[in-house]
């Protein structure tokens, strides 16, 4: 008995270590793939790779007898292999043979093969890791409560550990670091009599991991990423590299980079040469310094509009980044600037080592820094400002949907409403966007503000001014109506700079095309329709092929413009192959979903060949475990979404929510070990979960909004009190169900475990689709629905 307990403890420790390693590896992979490609592709590759869990379930179902007979011998081997594959897969994926370029995916078939090869490479460590976990669960299903506890707690710790490790190690070093934990997991459970034989294998594995750590692969960054293009310039080099959970920041020194969006064609002088910052290879911003060059060119930009019509003493710069807007404010003699920037690593660099490169703006007594998300600041602050400014929207030339799946809480109607409420009487919100084609970004911005102003009983035409250059439009939304003198000053500024007014009280049609003409003039007619009346606006929303309806907190996807209903219309207008180029991310999301569902179906059906198609508990198992997998993941995603705004930092919110949920569920699972695995018991637990979800759907948003002003420690306690109770109960149905199944038909246990894993993977992608198409509130409703299904199939058995 004593030996049995000791074995269970060793097994649990091993399982926990392996779980830490797998979750951490998953996060590390996302980071690495976001650096070499883009976030969307990271998301897609990981989603497919996670099918490794389902594949393992199918594999155990097919070879159950053999695997269970050899489990004790196999487990250490499998864990050592998992450990090595974690390191090897990353190294191989970065070789030219496998490294794919997402930019060329739709134009070069060879990239597609490389992408498929990448899927396969990354599927392997997940498959072997999951095989180890699955074998432990299936072999010791009577102790599933305790083992699932170890699995959940390990996974919870893995998330926090990975986030912490990202401060200490560069991403390319991390695979070897997290792989060490999988190796330790294997070491813990080597049977005594095999230890001498394994010592050589372990020594070899340690040597291999050390080698992968020391000579970690250089990341093969896409040649089309901003940083790669910049580094091609002669004399350009990276002068600082810093890793953090926000990404890898690189400061690049270059004798050639000039950044002057919205610059007037009339500007006669030179444009300052800037060093620049990049995050995960994407452009962050220039490091502007007046010590090197004259910054006079900044005053020749459309972004000057708020400053030319009045003094701006209190300025709020949201998502201040490298401080370009802070610098513009200081150049315009602003007395108080509040710079809100959530990226701590960037702030550390710009107020520390690189302070001089940005005129020490972040150490300037006139500048106060707030290291928090812009939305959280807006919700918690009661200050009023003369001006609120945001970073330029979109990317030069359009991003083609690279950010379509990104939740952008700063660009929702609620966010614009909060900005409006934070303005002084004469205050202005200033927002600049690149002019894209087909027109999307400027239309969505103007639609958002038109709706916000109407909600505040204001006539949008009196409060909005917009001026354009050849490639940018700057909008100024003023708290009080624009006065005659202000309109005159704007007109004079436009004439002097070769800009055209686009929206201005009393504007004439020919004014819009004096200097910068558009061959497709529908931009103006659509802007006029948006401002004319809610009816005209709604009509345009429904007729326009792109989604230009304002984003809202429940559907915070500002950059998502493509919609299914118009795909055939767009193909007709622009050609069949043009659609992916408007919004790659949106198309990829659906492609990923189809791909995963296809493989999942195969993996679910395949074991039936072995365990039989009919009878037993198959229908029950399928509905019950798919419902649990879906429901759990949906709730996890919803909690991350709700608490991101609450904590003001997506990374810490995600880490906190995932860890709190998994650890609470782990304890739920541990307690479930003492419970009898009976349908009535399960019905009671799931009923509680469903009721809790319904209550949370109604009260959670307002509860979080009222308590957002609390201090961070209070907020963490409050979040724990909200998350832990439902998560505790959510940890019970899975182990109870597995135990119940094992009592009736043991051979179906691995199949059921696989179903749960597969639906967890499907749910992550499905939740994003539901959020984009219907809103997050529906994700919560579907979560309750999924749990209800699991409940219903038990009612039949009670």
Partner 1 sequence: MFNIIISILLFLSCSPQDDQYKSDRESMVRRQIEDREIHNQPTLDAMLAVPRHKFVPSNLLERAYNDGPLPIGYGQTISQPYIVAYMTAAIDPKKEFKVLEIGTGSGYQAAVLSGIVSDVYTIEIITELYNSASKRLRGLGYKNVICKNADGYYGWKDFAPFDAIIVTAASEYIPPPLIEQLKDGGKMIIPVGSPFLNQTLILIEKEGEDITTTSLLPVRFVPFTRGN
Q: Which stretch binds partner 1 (CB under 8 A): 204-212, 261-269, 590-598, 611-619?
A: 261-269
- What is the rounded distance in angstroms from the CA atom of residue 454 to the CA atom of residue 448? 10
Contacting residue, 10, 70, 266, 705, with partner 1 by CB under 8 A: 266
First to last CA, the chain: 34
* List 307, 385, 493, 544, residue binding partner 1 (CB under 8 A): 544
Question: Are 288 and 297 in contact, with CB atoms under 8 Å apart?
Answer: no
Distant-in-sequence, close-in-space partners of 370: CB < 8 Å, separation ≥ 6: 338, 339, 340, 341, 377
- 542 near partner 1, judged by CB under 8 A: no
Structure tokens at 769: 């689709």
State the minimum distance, in angstroms, from the CB of residue 296 to partner 1: 12
3-state secondary structure of 385: strand
Report the nearest approach of partner 1 to the CB of residue 248 (Å).
19
> Do 534 and 454 meet the contact criterion of CB atoms below 8 Å apart?
yes
* CB neighbours of residue 294 within 10 Å: 11
CB of 592 to partner 1, least distance (A): 20
Q: And the tokens for 306?
A: 């708020």
Question: Binding partner 1 by CB under 8 A: which of 73, 120, 270, 691?
Answer: 270
Nearer to partner 1, 340 or 503 (CB): 503
Listed ranges 84-92, 515-523, 724-732, 746-754: which one lies at the site for partner 1 (CB under 8 A): 515-523
Q: Is 438 in the site for partner 1 (CB under 8 A)?
A: yes
473 binds partner 1 (CB under 8 A): no
Answer for which of 582, 593, 599, 646 binds partner 1 (CB under 8 A) is: 582
Adjacent-strand bridge partners of 368 = 338
Q: Is 612 helix (H, G, I), strand (E, B) or coil?
A: coil
When asked if residue 520 is in the footprint of partner 1 (CB under 8 A), the reply is: yes
Burial letters 581-591, b for 16+ CB under 10 A, else e: ebbbbbbbbee
Contact residue for partner 1 among 98, 198, 515, 667 (CB under 8 A)? 515
Largest Cα–Cα distance of the chain, in whole Å? 91
Q: What is the CA radius of gyration of the chain?
A: 28
Please state whether the peptide bond connecting residue 14 to the residue before it is cis, i.e. omega within 30 degrees of 0: no
Measured CA to CA in angstroms, residue 360 lies from 290, 323, 355 at distances of 10, 10, 5
Question: What single DSSP character describes residue 545?
Answer: S
Binder among 269, 352, 481, 612 for partner 1 (CB under 8 A): 269
Q: Does 352 interact with partner 1 (rule: CB under 8 A)?
A: no
- The binding track of 175-214 with respect to partner 1, each residue x by CB under 8 A or -, is ----------------------------------------
Question: Is 175 or 286 the residue whose CB approaches partner 1 more closely?
Answer: 286
Q: Which of 333, 356, 525, 680 binds partner 1 (CB under 8 A)?
A: 525
- Pick from 191, 575, 602, 705 the residue near partner 1 by CB under 8 A: 575
Q: Which residues pair with 41 in a beta bridge?
A: none
| Both structure tokens of 6 | 């000791």
Q: Can you tell me the distance from the alpha carbon of 131 to that of 60, in angstroms, rounded to the nearest whole number? A: 7
Q: Which stretch binds partner 1 (CB under 8 A): 230-238, 650-658, 682-690, 695-703?
A: 230-238
Smallest separation, CB 155 to partner 1 (Å): 38
Q: Which of residues 355-414 bind partner 1 (CB under 8 A)?
A: 396-398, 400
For 226, half-sphere exposure in the C-beta direction (CA atoms, 13 angstrom radius) is 20
224 or 718: CB nearest partner 1: 224
CB 177 within 8 A of CB 169: yes
CA-CA distances (angstroms) from residue 776 to 16, 208, 213, 701?
32, 45, 41, 11
545 binds partner 1 (CB under 8 A): yes
Binds partner 1 by CB under 8 A, chosen from 521, 610, 705, 744: 521
Q: Closest approach of Cβ 281 to partner 1, in Å?
A: 12
When binding is defined by CB under 8 A, the residue of 3, 232, 576, 711 that contacts partner 1 is 232
Tokens of 293: 């060059």
Q: Rule CB under 8 A: is residue 470 a binding residue for partner 1? A: yes
Contact status: 259 vs partner 1 (CB under 8 A): yes
Question: Among 69, 95, 215, 522, which residue sits at the site for partner 1 (rule: CB under 8 A)?
Answer: 522
Task: Kindly list the residues in this chain that would bind partner 1 in the complex (CB under 8 A).
Answer: 103-104, 106-107, 223-225, 228-229, 232-234, 256, 258-263, 265-271, 396-398, 400, 435, 437-438, 470-471, 498, 515-523, 525-526, 543-545, 573-575, 578, 581-582
């Amino acid at each position: 008995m004593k030996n049995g307990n000791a074995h269970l403890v060793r097994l649990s420790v091993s399982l926990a270590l392996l779980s830490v390693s797998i979750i951490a590896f998953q996060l590390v992979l996302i980071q690495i793939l976001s650096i070499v490609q883009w976030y969307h592709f990271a998301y897609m590759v990981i989603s497919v790779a996670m099918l490794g869990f389902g594949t393992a379930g199918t594999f155990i179902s097919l070879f159950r007898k053999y695997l269970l007979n050899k489990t004790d011998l196999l487990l250490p081997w499998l864990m050592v292999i998992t450990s090595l594959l974690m390191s090897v897969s990353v190294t191989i994926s970065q070789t030219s043979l496998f490294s794919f370029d997402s930019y060329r995916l739709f134009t070069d078939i060879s990239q597609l093969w490389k992408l498929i090869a990448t899927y396969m490479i990354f599927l392997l460590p997940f498959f072997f890791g999951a095989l180890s976990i699955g074998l432990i669960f299936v072999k010791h299903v009577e102790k599933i409560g305790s083992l699932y506890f170890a699995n959940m707690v390990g996974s919870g710790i893995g998330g926090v550990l990975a986030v912490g490790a990202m401060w200490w190690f560069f991403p390319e070093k991390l695979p070897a670091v997290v792989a060490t934990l999988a190796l330790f997991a294997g070491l813990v459970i080597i049977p005594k009599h095999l230890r001498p034989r394994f010592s050589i294998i372990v020594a070899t594995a340690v040597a291999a991991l050390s080698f992968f750590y020391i000579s970690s692969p250089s990341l093969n960054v896409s040649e089309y990423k901003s940083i790669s293009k910049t580094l091609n310039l002669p004399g350009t080099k990276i002068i600082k590299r810093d890793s953090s959970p926000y990404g890898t920041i690189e400061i690049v020194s270059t004798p050639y980079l000039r950044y002057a969006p919205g610059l007037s064609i009339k500007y006669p002088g030179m444009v300052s040469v800037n060093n620049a910052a990049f995050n995960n290879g994407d452009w962050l911003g220039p490091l502007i310094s007046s010590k090197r060059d004259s910054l006079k060119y900044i005053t020749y930009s459309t972004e000057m509009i708020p400053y030319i019509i009045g003094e701006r003493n209190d300025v709020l710069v949201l998502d201040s980044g490298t401080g370009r807007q802070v610098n513009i404010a200081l150049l315009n003699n602003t007395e108080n600037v509040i710079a809100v920037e959530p990226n701590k690593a960037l702030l550390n660099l710009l107020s520390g080592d690189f302070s001089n490169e940005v005129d020490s703006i972040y150490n300037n007594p006139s500048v106060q820094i707030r290291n928090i998300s812009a939305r959280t600041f807006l919700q918690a602050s009661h200050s009023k400002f003369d001006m609120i400014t945001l970073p330029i929207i979109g990317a030069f030339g359009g991003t083609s949907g690279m950010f379509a799946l990104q939740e952008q809480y700063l660009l929702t109607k609620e966010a614009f409403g909060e900005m409006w409420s934070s303005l002084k009487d004469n205050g202005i919100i200033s927002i600049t966007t690149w002019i894209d084609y087909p027109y999307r970004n400027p239309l969505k911005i103007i639609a958002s503000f038109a709706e916000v102003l109407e909600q505040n009983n204001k006539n949008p035409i009196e409060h909005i001014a917009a001026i354009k250059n050849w490639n940018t439009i700057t909008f100024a939304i003023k708290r009080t109506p624009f006065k005659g003198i202000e309109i005159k000053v704007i007109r004079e500024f436009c004439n002097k700079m070769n800009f055209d007014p686009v929206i201005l009280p009393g504007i004439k049609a020919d004014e819009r095309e004096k200097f910068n003409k558009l061959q497709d003039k529908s931009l103006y007619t659509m802007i006029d329709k948006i401002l004319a009346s809610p009816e005209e606006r709604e009509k345009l929303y429904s007729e326009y092929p792109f989604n230009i309806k304002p984003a809202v907190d429940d559907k915070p996807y500002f950059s998502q413009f493509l919609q299914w209903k118009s795909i055939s219309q767009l193909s007709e207008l622009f050609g069949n192959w043009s659609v992916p180029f408007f919004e790659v991310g949106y198309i990829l999301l659906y492609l990923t979903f189809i791909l995963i569902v296809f493989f999942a179906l195969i993996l679910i059906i395949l074991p039936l060949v072995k365990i039989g198609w009919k009878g037993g508990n198959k229908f029950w198992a399928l509905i019950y475990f798919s419902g649990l997998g879906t429901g759990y993941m949906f709730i996890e995603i919803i909690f991350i979404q709700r608490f991101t705004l609450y904590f003001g930092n997506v990374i810490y919110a995600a880490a906190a929510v995932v860890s709190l949920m998994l650890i609470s569920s782990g304890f739920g699972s541990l307690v479930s070990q003492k419970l009898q695995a009976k349908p009535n018991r399960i019905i009671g637990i799931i009923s509680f979960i469903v009721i809790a979800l319904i209550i949370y759907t109604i009260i959670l948003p307002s509860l979080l909004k009222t308590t957002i002003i609390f201090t961070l420690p209070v907020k963490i306690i409050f979040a724990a009190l909200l998350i832990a109770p439902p998560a505790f109960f959510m940890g019970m149905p899975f182990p109870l169900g597995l135990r119940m199944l094992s009592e009736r038909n043991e051979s179906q246990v691995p199949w059921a475990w696989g179903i749960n894993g597969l639906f967890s993977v499907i749910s992550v992608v499905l939740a994003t689709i539901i959020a984009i198409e219907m809103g997050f509130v529906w994700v919560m409703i579907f979560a309750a629905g999924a749990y209800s299904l699991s409940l219903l199939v038990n009612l039949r058995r009670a």
